Amino acid sequence: MNKELITAYIDNEIKEASIKDEIKHLIDVDPEYRFEYQVQSLVKKAAREKYKRQQAPEHLRQRIINQIASEINVKTPSRSSEKEFSFWAGLFSKPAFSFATAIIIIISVVLILFNRTPQQPPVISEDQLTPDNMFYQAQNNFEAIIQGKLAPQIIADNPETIQQFFQTSGVKYSTLIPTFKEWKLLGAVVSEDKGEKLAHHVYIGKKGEIVYVFQVDESYLKSHEIISLDENLIEYLDQGNCYIKTENQKVLLFKKIDHNICAIVSNAPLQEVQNNFCNI
């Protein structure tokens, strides 16, 4: 049977039931036909994808580039991923299948990722901001720092010193302490909520601007037993987005970095805060 019939089968152009059944049978039992079906299905799905062409934000571009780079080092697949792995491995190893066509497929997928319509940030209403909400706590903690009511428990400008302080103070999750050219590390605080220790650290700028970072392991938020956050916001962050809100000359930013969800509140310029944290 001519493999070109697979194209007609995918496009639902074959009306005769017996021929459709025969093609389906070949796809099920013959590796050559199954491979051809998988390849054509992927290409057509990419081509049919409808999207609104928009400039992808820099942090999304960088994330996709990093993901593609990490996939170059192919690992032995687990049983659950053997089928997917064998398909992609076959895509590049099949003598009858051109390398150029494989590149076209990958480019199509990447273009869809770059140009898909960005997910809209969730709207956080005031009635959600209960005392156990991370959004609420981050804003209140920042105001306490500005007013001098909340002082660092340790003064340090070294990330390793602050991480060690978090560990010895009982924080159970690993912490992230990035450094920036615009701001200098000032110190850190460990708070306690429902018996769990939580990590906070602070930067200071050359003009006295404060950058406050509150980070927790994502499991603390998803279980809702320790601290809470709007589920739509968590989903938005899981997809690699930055949530940004500005009010009263303050910037409130949420970003998921590795397995931690970070709330950043600052009176530094919006562009500085956004560029530094959204591109991590």
Answer whether 107's CB lies under 8 Å from 228's CB: no
pLDDT confidence of residue 76: 43
Rounded to an integer, the average pLDDT of 12-21 is 84
To 5 degrees, how large is the angle CA 28–CA 30–CA 35? Answer: 85
**Of residues 169 and 56, which shows the higher confidence score?**
169
pLDDT confidence of residue 74: 45
- Percentage above 90 pLDDT, the chain: 44
pTM for the structure as a whole: 0.60
pLDDT confidence of residue 107: 63
Rounded to an integer, the average pLDDT of 34-55 is 65
Residue range 186-237, pLDDT digits in tens: 999 999 998 999 999 999 999 999 999 999 999 999 876 789 998 889 999 9
pLDDT exceeds 80 at position 248 = yes
- Percentage above 70 pLDDT, the chain: 69
pLDDT confidence of residue 212: 98
Rounded to an integer, the average pLDDT of 76-104 is 51
Q: What integer best gives the mean pLDDT of the chain?
A: 80
pLDDT exceeds 80 at position 120 = no
Rounded to an integer, the average pLDDT of 230-246 is 92
**Of residues 205 and 94, which shows the higher confidence score?**
205
Instruction: Tell me, letter by letter, the H, E, C secondary structure of the chain.
Output: CCCHHHHHHHCCCCCCHHHHHHHHHHHHHCHHHHHHHHHHHHHHHHHHCCCCCCCCCHHHHHHHHHHHHHHCCCCCCCHHHHHHHHHHHHHHHCCCCCHHHHHHHHHHHHHHHHHCCCCCCCCCCHHHCCCCEHHHHHHHHHHHHHCCCCCCCEECCCHHHHHHHHHHCCCCCCCCCCCCCCEEEEEEEEEEECCEEEEEEEEEECCCCEEEEEEEEHHHHHCCCCCECCHHHHHHHHCCCCEEEEECCEEEEEEEECCEEEEEEECCCHHHHHHHHHCC
pLDDT confidence of residue 26: 85
Which of 13-17, 77-81, 139-143 has maximum average pLDDT?
A: 139-143
